[in-house]
Amino acid sequence: MSKPKGFEKPVGVRDYLPHAVSRLRWIEHKVLDCMQRWGYEQIITPTMEFYDTVGVASATSDQRLFKLLNQRGTTIVLRSDMTAPIARVVGSLLKDQPFPIRLSYHGNVFRAFEEEAGRDAEFFQTGVELIGDPSPEADAEVIALAIASLKAAGVHSFKVAVGHVGFLNALFEESLPGQSHVQQELKDCLLQRDHVGYRHILRSLPLDEGLRDELEDILRLRGGQEVCEQALAMSRSQRARAALQHLCEIWDVLSAYGVQDHVLIDLTMIGDFSYYTGMTFEGYAANLGFPLASGGRYDNLLAQFGRPAPATGFAIKTTRVLEVMEEEPPEREKTLILYTPDRRVEALAEAEKLREAGKIAVTESVPDPAALDAWLGEWERQGRQVFTHRGVRYHERIVFGSRKGGAAR
Amino acid sequence: MTELLKVAMPKGRIYKQASQLFRAAGLAIPEDLDDSRRLIIPAPEAGLEFIMAKPVDIPTYVEYGVADIGVVGKDVMMEEGKDVYELLDLGIARCRMSVIALPDWKPVIHPRVATKYPKVASQYFRERGQQVEVIKLNGSIELAPLIGLADRIVDMVETGQTLRENGLVELEVMFQITSRLIANRVSYRLKNEAIQALCDRLAKVIPAPKGD
């Protein structure tokens, strides 16, 4: 590659200009505040972690981890999510804190260079982890909190699809006993969303017709609570039934939260099988081609950090919320204070007064009263309450040093 | 008014067969979509809106969600590797992706393979333990072995007519290819009823594979 030009930056990373930052900060504030009101306390962990600990434990595949070497030649990763670092903290610094532990976070995470937009190399995530509670109540709590968080962030038309890894695992185990590579192929097809390949494999297997139809029909298992009942009717295995029961209970709790309108059950909704162990979910907004939030139960992760515990959580991709938020953060009013040097003390005192009252004040010194008058004339020509000065919008102006004397507004 | 389902349709070869299939399924598609210069064509009676696109771009439109669903060849799906749902094998535009060479082809020391599908070709040869140099071309792939740019090519074969005319032979068939119905991840959930209904209608009229 040729030497980059001065304005270039690596593929997949972004600059956020003030307008975007104010929206991003507003979302972050609203969402973290919502999480805090549910009892989740915010935690900050480092950007860099060891590959051999957090890197290996994370749900991100190896080739998508952003790896560096430190001076000693140890492999370091830029965190690819916040879940593995939090598991490390819960297994070490917080090892004496009793369960359940409720933590929230907001931070930037990294994925090794992706070539196209929609897949950033660095993006923001805001999320929670609920650690030490295996119950459907806990799963429903994080789903309900995800819904509340999206609403707090100003997203109103969205759906959350909930599935359960345990159901498919058990169903395949039951239907195709001992054929673990076939099970794996079927799961890979579902993971790659390849329904054609899934049906193709099923049709190539010597299965009886009833079973094949059943396995094909799971591609259609989605909807409300009735889906759980349909699936219960077709599975005999203990583990599949237990998974479905768990899902039914989650649905009941979500109904009690009153959020079931936002939820649909989808038994083909599966996260990464090697990482998630139970319920998984994704949040989708209208007019955005990519999921907005994702989460699920991961009961095996904490053991890798020496404190085995069930855990469940989710992350919102904050940078995507920017694209679909239906509310604008309230604009803070800005005051411009213009003064001639002889009135500096008064002008700066006025600015200080405004800032103490929580307002935004910008000061500018002009050489003489004539220059002041020129600006006043310019603003009058703009003829609006809100005016623009040197490219910035102001709601109010205070002038010290006009020929007319005194503070003129 | 319900929102129209946005369907990305391939211009060119696949279009005719795809539109026949849609019509056979009782979906009122305007006849002359392919000839018209318009790129966005609503068909409100069918609840659809067609976006006419170059076939290789269709997975991209669908991945980004600017089209809810799309019709695209499995060859393009394999090459583009986009994160979309592959819902239905439409059984149309049936052909195969093959390794092709001159009849007297023998293994060479530095094998070169010319193709429109560099990712698929690299992976195919890698999986067979062959190290080949893959050369990406955009058209007239058959030319490459004739003028010595590559000793083999990877390309789509429908009837084999072009190969015969250029004195080339199929060394091996890599994949059977048909067109697929694909869907965006979000649309698949949020507009599931409409997409599922369309799938069901299409599934009933998909041509059965010819026995060979």
Helix H, strand E, coil C: the string for A271-334 is CCCCCCCCEEEEEEECCCCCCCEEEEECCCCHHHHCCCCCEEEEEEEHHHHHHHCCCCCCCCCE
Most confidently predicted of A156-160, A285-289, B97-101: B97-101
In percent, the amount of chain B with pLDDT more than 70 equals: 94
Q: Which pair of structure tokens corresponds to residue A107? A: 């931070």
**Are residues A193 and B86, on separate chains, in Cβ contact within 8 Å?**
yes
Structure confidence at residue A405 as a pLDDT band (50, 70, 90): very low
| pLDDT, average across residues A66-95 | 93
Any chain B CB within 8 A of the CB of A120?
A: no
> What values do phi and psi take at A50, rounded to 5?
-75, 140
In percent, the amount of chain A with pLDDT more than 70 equals: 96
Tell whether the model's pLDDT for residue B211 goes beyond 70: no
What is the structure's pLDDT at A403? 58
Q: Is B58 left (phi over 0), alpha (psi -120 to 50) or beta?
A: alpha
Give the whole-angstrom CA distance, residue B194 versus residue B25. Answer: 14
Domains of chain B (ranges; CATH) run 5-93+178-205 (3.40.190.10), 95-176 (3.40.190.10)
Give the whole-angstrom CA distance, residue B107 versus residue B110. Answer: 9
| pLDDT, average across residues A194-210 | 89
User: Minimal Cα distance from A283: which residue of B?
Assistant: B186
What is the complex's ipTM, to 2 decimals? 0.82
What is the structure's pLDDT at A406? 46
Structure pTM? 0.85
Structure confidence at residue B212 as a pLDDT band (50, 70, 90): very low
- For the stretch B13-24, pLDDT in tens is 788 888 889 889
Any chain B CB within 8 A of the CB of A284?
A: yes
| pLDDT, average across residues B65-77 | 94
Residue A289: which of B85, B89, B186 has the nearest Cβ? B186
Residue type, B41: I
Whether CATH 3.30.930.10 fits A18-157+286-324 = yes
Tell whether the model's pLDDT for residue A404 goes beyond 70: no
User: DSSP 3-state assignment of A191?
Assistant: helix
What is the structure's pLDDT at B1? 43
Domain ranges of chain A: 18-157+286-324, 334-408
Any chain B CB within 8 A of the CB of A224?
A: no
Tell whether the model's pLDDT for residue B135 goes beyond 70: yes
HSE toward the beta carbon, residue B26, CA cutoff 13 A: 7
Residue that wins the pLDDT comparison between A115 and A188:
A188
Q: Which pair of structure tokens corresponds to residue A318? A: 């904050």
**Residue A399 burial class via C-beta count within 10 angstroms: exposed 0-12, middle 13-18, buried 19 and up:** buried
**Average pLDDT, rounded, for chain A:** 89
A285 contacts on B by Cβ (under 8 Å): 186
- For the stretch A127-168, pLDDT in tens is 999 999 999 999 999 999 999 999 999 998 899 999 998 888
Tell me which residues of chain B have a C-beta less than 8 Å from any C-beta of chain A. Answer: 63-66, 83-89, 180, 184-187, 189-190, 192, 196
Residue that wins the pLDDT comparison between A29 and A227:
A29
**Average pLDDT, rounded, for chain B:** 90
